[in-house]
Amino acid sequence: MTSLKLSDVAESRVNNLNLMRFVAAIFVIISHCYSVVLGSDAGDFVYRHTKQLTFGGMSVGLFFVFGGFLIARSCEHHSDAKTFFKQRVSRLFPELIFVVSASALVLGPLVSTLAPGEYFTNPQTYRYFLNSFLIMVHELPGVFTNNPLGNTVNASLWTLPVEFCCYILCFIGFKLTRFNQKRFILASVPVVALIVLYVWKFSPQQLSVVRAVVLFYIGVAFWVFRDKIRIHTAAGIVATAAFCVLLYAKLDVLAMMLLFPYVCFWLGYGTGGRFSNFGKKFELSYGIYLWAFPIQQTLVQLFPTWPIYGNAVCAALLAICGAFLNYAVIVRPLKKNIRQKQTLR
């Protein structure tokens, strides 16, 4: 059975991360289709059992675990603040601004109950652009007002300000510790204390946010201690089985904090990179994630009698198309521009 140090593969492109992120983005759609079609009290079968965790929550957890790992790596490779944050901004914001603009200026007036003149003179239309700056505004005037879930245009966007805050904290942590293992352990003492305080006093308030941040932190820790972490097939299988047992026992918080990160790294790096070519040219998961929710809400408004999985399948196909549109209009020109600048240097 395969056994390797995480440090041996941490810099390698031979991994399954693109496929896993793609699958996670699709799982977010599947998870959301229940509440989008049936209302806020509905949830997928994981939620119906645990009352806290969903497939969508697990998928967001995967994004944050690998996000912490890769952003920590980026801190070491780009220790200058200007370079580091320029890369983060260029990755996060262009596609976000494009989708927010398309939602407000194209989708909104098409599905709004207001006439175009009323829609475009309503201040709420322009407040929606605050999402481009990670200030959450969930409504557009007259949009999705009669849907089962209400008038939320894109509920998925909540993760982006949380993610960007994690980038900032990660970079500060790198500057303070240089990711020296002893320093990192000392710096982790107040972090662990805050986690214990949350579990003792405040859980499960804002559990989705706290879980995402903690998983990001665990991802950072996997990078810092990569030379001491072994990825073993048997351990991966046992961790996956134990994760399922804890979920069945409704101990989802323990399952996500203790076992989920190792399962992710085993699947991502410890299974031979059999799908390492997936998404090599088109990395679509972020675009799918951005487009999916407004597409699902639109489908519910246009086809209110569609079954849950009819919404999910159609939304997934359209969100993939949206991700390709992002690539053609935003990502590819940006990459081309970066290559040209590098050539000129």
- Residue 49 pLDDT greater than 60, yes or no: yes
Place of tokens 């793609």: 22
Other C-beta atoms lying within 10 Å of the C-beta of residue 317 = 11
Each residue's pLDDT tens digit, 257-287? 999 999 999 999 998 888 999 988 888 999 9
Place of tokens 């690539």: 327
3-state secondary structure of 227: coil
Which pTM value belongs to this model?
A: 0.96
What does each C-alpha distance from 92 to 27, 72, 133, 306, 340 come to in angstroms? 21, 16, 10, 33, 21
- If pLDDT is split at 50, 70 and 90, which confidence band does 202 have? very high
What does each C-alpha distance from 288 to 74, 96, 177, 207, 318 come to in angstroms? 24, 11, 35, 24, 9
Element housing 230 (H / E): strand 230-232
- Residue 1 pLDDT greater than 80, yes or no: no
Element housing 321 (H / E): helix 308-326
- Residue 206 pLDDT greater than 80, yes or no: yes
160, 286 Cβ separation under 8 angstroms: no
Each residue's pLDDT tens digit, 118-160? 999 999 999 999 999 999 999 999 999 999 999 999 999 999 9
- Residue 343 pLDDT greater than 90, yes or no: no
Question: What is the dihedral sign for C-alpha 311, 316, 321, 322?
Answer: positive
Separation CA 319–CA 115 (nearest Å): 27
Give me the pLDDT at residue 342, please.
65
| Residues sharing a CB contact under 8 Å with residue 143, sequence separation 6 or more, in sequence order | 107, 108, 111, 112, 113, 151, 153
Q: How far from the centroid of its chain's Cα atoms is residue 198's Cα?
A: 22
Separation CA 245–CA 247 (nearest Å): 5
Give me the pLDDT at residue 339, please.
72
